A and B are shown apart, each in its own frame.
Chain A
Amino acid sequence: MTTERPSRIGVLAIQGDYAAHAAAFARLGVATEPVKTVSELAQVDSLVLPGGESTAMLRLLRRDGLDAALREFVHARPVLATCAGCILLAREVCHPHQESFAALDISIERNAYGRQNESAIVPVETTLPGGPMEAVFIRAPRILKTGPSVKTLATRDGFPVLVREGKILAATFHPELSDDQRVHELFLEMIRES
């Protein structure tokens, strides 16, 4: 039996649907901490990068060294990233090109399905137990290429929409806006493993 303090999950709360992620973990009986600063990031063991606008997040990270601290964090600790968060982690971002943390070996295209009128809720094929998963796509990006160490866990029309590489779990859709809790449950399992 260990006497270590329980693992703390942070949710990057500078912009986006961070409250929806906190609520998704709360439904699983797990508390999370909002992270807006370097000192708050230092208090957590794993992190969620939520959906939102990746350009706005990049601008807000450029303050007080949060971008450098986050870059180090995402290369070392368990991270769950959805939509804009997935874009921040990608090795390469196109349409248009923008900077990223290059912690996840994927190429990703922003707003690849079109604008809001093309947003959709569709069932996607997944290798996770339990069969097809409801996936909420909102102005979603598309993963164009994955590196050899990236495992694809779900696909839409043949393109990966849920991937895992080491301690990173990333989705181009929004499991936090769905009743299907498998992605958040898998992330909790990854935290326990690490």
Chain B
Amino acid sequence: MSEMNENHTSTGLRLKIGLAEMLKGGVIMDVMNVEQARIAEEAGAVAVMALERVPAMIRAEGGVARMASPKLIKEIMAAVTIPVMAKARIGHFAEAQVLQQLGVDFIDESEVLTPADEAHHIDKHAFTTPFVCGARNLGEALRRIAEGAAMIRTKGEAGTGDVVHAVQHMRQITKELRQLTVAREEELYHLAKEHGAPYELVRMVARTCKLPVPNFSAGGIATPADAALMMQLGAETVFVGSGIFMKERATPLDVENDAKEREEAVSRARAIVTATTHFNDAKVVAEASEQVTGTMKGLAAAAIEERDQLQTRGW
């Protein structure tokens, strides 16, 4: 059987979703260098996302945000034993081909980078490497799953340290899932049209009341309590970006040369991991919150003009 066919079979999808299952109940951390990746692994991250700039820096610096350099990605892959993810631009299947060639464990087709296609997302069935994609509502999630995504994450508003949109998107997806379960059989055709999603997937989730792939959360999660909040709202794992390795909005902690700043990053990383596992035990989340020294200042998501939002990218 050719490689192409293999990816289109249920076997290929089972393997992709299988890795997503292994990452449940954990924290996936954005890292920009080898030292940050090592700190993340030691703190108990289940995976790292290799990036040249975290979303807070992309937001502050502007310019075109692209796939990270293969050199950086390979260095990080060599430095840690946990899975390594990397981002490709929306629709940029050639970047995704490069990431697959490098052997990354998961590709994030991400709105945080500058989109490369204003209409089409990547045909993710064409790849052996699994994909994660962002979503703000059920229709968007199901469109990405139809294209082959093996994991969905709420988009939130990346690089802000403001959890409000991650909450909004998770509540929206779970609310729309519940609404499908009470719809009559003949109403599902119309709901499929309204959600802009394939009827077969709409019918499947109407029966199971859950997405057919793991549902994680991202975009503005900065503290142990933020992580506990998202897990209680139904996230199965959280992505943390700027919340661990940034001090001011566009300045990373110097974990390579400054022992005190390294310790601060370690304390934040460990605390978020602990709070994510014990999300339903307020005593443990309180202890974890107390261990954190310093938190990113953040940027209120409400102060961002809609045209400057990252979450509106993707279709």
Contact = CB atoms under 8 A, between A and B. Distances in A.
Q: Do A and B come from one complex?
A: yes
Interface of A: 13-20, 36, 51-53, 55-56, 58-60, 63, 83-84, 96, 110-111, 114-117, 119-121, 136, 138-139, 174, 177
B289 interface: no
Contacts of B21: 16-17, 19-20, 51, 177
Interface stretch (B99-107, B157-165, B247-255, B293-301): B99-107
B237 to A, nearest CB: 9
Interface string B121-140: 00000001110000000000
Given A19-B24, A116-B15, A138-B18, 20 more contacts: A15-B25, A15-B46, A16-B22, A16-B24, A18-B25, A19-B21, A20-B21, A36-B277, A52-B24, A53-B26, A53-B46, A53-B47, A115-B77, A117-B128, A119-B19, A120-B15, A121-B14, A136-B18, A138-B15, A139-B105
A60 B273 contact: yes
Contacts of B18: 119, 136, 138, 174, 177
Nearest to A58: B44
A58 B15 CA distance: 25
The 6 closest A-B pairs by CB, nearest first: A59-B44, A116-B105, A17-B21, A56-B44, A15-B25, A53-B46
B82 interface: yes
B73 to A, nearest CB: 12
A56 B46 contact: yes
B15 to A, nearest CB: 5
Contacts of B19: 116, 119, 138-139
Contacts of B273: 56, 59-60
Given A14-B277, A17-B24, A121-B15, A116 B106 contact: yes
A60 B44 contact: yes
B45 interface: yes
Interface string B7-46: 0000100110011011111100000000000000111111
A120 B270 CA distance: 32
B81 interface: yes
A50 to B, nearest CB: 9
Nearest to B103: A115
B242 interface: no
Interface of B: 11, 14-15, 18-19, 21-26, 41-47, 77, 81-83, 100, 103-106, 128-130, 270, 273-274, 277-278, 281
A55 B81 contact: yes
A177 B46 CA distance: 19
Given A55-B82, A110-B81, A117 B22 contact: no
Contact of B25 (A16, A84, A115, A136): A16
B196 to A, nearest CB: 29
A146 B43 CA distance: 31
A114 B128 CA distance: 14
A21 B139 CA distance: 30
A115 B102 CA distance: 10
Given A18-B25, A53-B23, A115-B105, A59 B82 contact: no
Contacts of B104: 115
Nearest to A52: B22
Contacts of B11: 121
Nearest to B12: A121
Given A116-B19, A177-B18, A36 B278 contact: yes
A31 B141 CA distance: 31
Contacts of A55: 41-42, 44, 81-82
